Structure formats: structure tokens, C-alpha cells
């Protein structure tokens, strides 16, 4: 088998494996991590950027399919974003096909990578600020709740009891209505036609950026959706990005190989098991995060990855 892995030293192999495991853990937990792996391949002088991009898509597309399957066990079935993810995936596949087939050799990669890093920084800052505000608010409510005293007032009149019962029913109906509206917004249960078309357009842009920069789909998709639909549950966003990544990866593989950009089989075999194990472990982490802590975690990772991406863009 003709592969660049044969020429790698033990130290270079260790760098690639360590980057793949770390990146796959991040991919499993928050969908972001591919951006760590490609620079490691280039740092180890394992391959050219074009070969690295195609090899990563071939190796990580199966891990994304595994991630979708595992996320379906975490997100309630009636709230899993199959339709939204399908729309984003269709757009991503179109964008990846165009980029891989026509633009891979003509678009300035460093400029696009720089823009992706800046968007990730803005979105990460927003998530960190929002989650910190919610956590402070929750702590304040908890402290206030500990100091409350419950007082019971008995009313001997039947008329008063009926009035209280009516008020309780009205209050319950109002709470149910508010909770229903909140759940619809949080899980994006009722997208409009305009939102679906906009999501498709975002998918096209993400698909193009993913192939042209080799940074993966989620690092472009998640920041844009965070800035656009900040109220949506992050597990729903992660599920959408995972669905999109599967079809984006397939389209990228087909379009780039059709242009003569072949993956390195040795790199694929080296990266694939690391990716499968890392993603399987990373997804399990999601079970232990509340919404606020998950938002804070994703925001922190976006800030770190955005900073790293901007730095890498200046080095290209």
C-alpha cells in the first residue's frame, strides 16, 4: 500500500494520533475538533493540505454517522431535529460539491480561515456571556428561595375557595402556555418557511467553507446558528451540525476525488479508529451537562478554537 505513513517517524505518528484523539473527543462533545487535526498533520509534515483535507473527510464521515446515532439517544425523539438537520445537510452537500469541484484550487484559503476564526470568536463570546448571566441568575434565585417563608392563610368561605381555584386554574393554563412556547423556541419545533430557506443557505456557505479551509462544518455552522438562533437548545444545534456533517462529508469526498485529490489510505486507517473512539467518548459527556453549562462549555471551546484558527490563518 502506497502511503505517506510509511515515511513518518514514531514521533510524527504520535503527534498525529494525539491530535486525532483530542480532536475526536471535542468533535464528540461539541462538534468542534477537526480544526485541531489538520494543523497537526501539517506540523508533522505528514501530507500536503489537499491530501490532509480529503483524508480527514474520508476518516471522519463515518464517525459523524456514529455521532448522529448516539445523539438520537440523548435528545428526545420528538425533539430531534431530523428535518432541520436534513435541510442544513442538503445545503452543505451542495456547497461542498461546488467548492470541491470548482473552487478548491482558486480561493485564498488563508483569508477564509481568518474569517471563520473571527466568527467563532464572536459566537463564543456571546455564548460565554449569555451562559454566565443565566448561571448568575440561577444562583440568585436559589439564594432568594432559601430565604423565603411559606405562609398559609385559611379562608372559611366557599365563595373564596371557588375564586382561588379559578385563579389557580388560570395560572396553570398560563404557565402551560408559556412552557409550550418556550419549548417550541428552545427546540425549534415550528420553523417557518423563511427560516428553512435561510438554514439551507447557511448550509451552502458552510459546505463551501468546510472544503475550502479543511476546518470541518461545525466550526462554521455552530457560530452562525448561535448568533442567529441563540435561544435554541445547544444539543439540538449539535445534532443538526452532526447530520449536516455526514452528508457534507460524502459530497466533499465525491467532489474532491473527482478532481483528482485522492485520500491517503494509511492516514485514513490511522485516523479512523482514533476518531471512532474519541467521538464515542465525547458524546457521552453531553449527558452530564445542563443547558447553561453546555452553552458555557461550547462558548469556551469556540473562543479557544477561534483564537487558534485566526493564529493558523496568519501562518498560512
Residue 163 domain-assigned (yes or no): no
Residue 306 domain-assigned (yes or no): yes
Residue 172 domain-assigned (yes or no): no
pLDDT in tens, 16-47: 788 788 778 777 777 776 666 776 676 666 67
Residue 238 domain-assigned (yes or no): yes
- Distance of alpha carbon 246 from alpha carbon 252, whole angstroms: 10
**φ and ψ at residue 169, rounded to 5 degrees:** -65, -40
Residue 176 domain-assigned (yes or no): no
- Distance of alpha carbon 74 from alpha carbon 80, whole angstroms: 9
Residue 60 domain-assigned (yes or no): yes
What is the domain extent for residue 91? 4-143+181-315
Residue 166 domain-assigned (yes or no): no
Does the pLDDT value for residue 255 go beyond 60? yes
pLDDT in tens, 201-234: 999 999 888 777 766 678 788 888 888 988 888 8
The domain total for the chain is 1
**Residue 276 CB: number of other CB atoms within 10 A?**
18
pLDDT in tens, 152-207: 444 444 444 454 444 444 444 444 444 444 666 678 888 899 999 999 999 999 98
Helices (H), 214-288: 218-228, 234-258, 265-285
Q: What is the pTM of this model?
A: 0.73
- Distance of alpha carbon 131 from alpha carbon 91, whole angstroms: 30
Helices (H), 99-233: 109-146, 158-186, 193-213, 218-228
Q: Which long-range contacts (CB under 8 A, 24 or more apart) does 281-285 make?
A: 281/25, 281/28, 282/24, 282/25, 282/26, 282/27, 282/28, 282/29, 282/30, 283/28, 283/29, 283/67, 283/70, 283/71, 283/74, 284/28, 284/70, 285/28, 285/29
Half-sphere exposure of 178 (CA within 13 A, CB side): 6
Residue 213 domain-assigned (yes or no): yes
Amino acid at each position: 500500500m502506497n502511503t505517506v505513513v510509511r515515511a513518518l517517524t514514531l514521533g510524527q505518528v504520535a503527534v498525529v494520533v494525539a491530535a486525532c484523539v483530542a480532536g475526536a473527543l471535542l468533535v464528540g462533545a461539541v462538534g468542534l475538533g477537526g480544526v485541531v487535526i489538520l494543523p497537526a498533520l501539517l506540523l508533522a509534515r505528514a501530507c500536503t493540505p489537499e491530501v490532509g483535507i480529503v483524508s480527514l473527510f474520508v476518516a471522519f464521515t463515518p464517525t459523524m454517522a456514529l455521532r448522529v446515532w448516539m445523539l438520537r439517544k440523548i435528545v428526545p425523539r420528538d425533539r430531534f431535529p431530523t428535518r432541520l438537520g436534513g435541510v442544513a445537510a442538503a445545503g452543505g452537500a451542495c456547497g461542498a460539491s461546488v467548492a470541491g469541484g470548482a473552487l478548491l484550487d482558486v480561493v485564498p484559503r488563508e483569508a477564509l480561515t481568518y474569517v471563520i476564526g473571527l466568527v467563532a470568536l464572536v459566537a463564543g463570546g456571546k455564548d460565554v456571556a449569555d451562559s454566565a448571566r443565566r448561571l448568575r441568575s440561577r444562583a440568585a434565585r436559589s439564594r432568594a428561595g432559601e430565604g423565603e417563608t411559606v405562609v398559609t392563610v385559611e379562608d372559611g368561605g366557599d365563595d373564596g375557595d371557588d375564586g382561588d381555584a379559578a385563579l389557580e386554574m388560570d395560572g396553570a393554563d398560563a404557565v402551560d402556555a408559556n412552557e409550550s412556547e418556550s419549548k417550541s423556541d428552545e427546540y425549534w419545533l415550528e420553523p417557518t418557511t423563511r427560516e428553512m430557506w435561510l438554514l439551507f443557505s447557511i448550509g451552502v456557505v458552510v459546505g463551501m467553507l468546510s472544503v475550502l479551509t479543511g476546518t470541518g462544518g461545525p466550526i462554521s455552522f455552530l457560530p452562525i446558528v448561535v448568533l442567529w438562533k441563540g435561544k435554541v437548545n445547544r444539543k439540538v444545534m449539535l445534532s443538526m451540525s452532526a447530520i449536516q456533517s455526514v452528508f457534507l462529508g460524502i459530497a466533499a469526498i465525491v467532489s474532491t476525488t473527482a478532481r483528482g485529490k485522492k485520500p491517503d489510505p494509511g492516514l485514513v486507517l490511522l485516523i479512523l479508529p482514533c476518531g471512532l473512539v474519541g467521538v464515542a467518548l465525547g458524546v457521552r459527556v453531553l449527558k452530564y451537562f445542563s443547558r447553561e453549562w453546555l452553552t458555557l462549555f461550547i462558548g469556551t471551546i469556540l473562543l479557544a478554537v477561534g483564537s487558534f484558527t485566526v493564529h493558523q490563518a496568519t501562518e498560512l
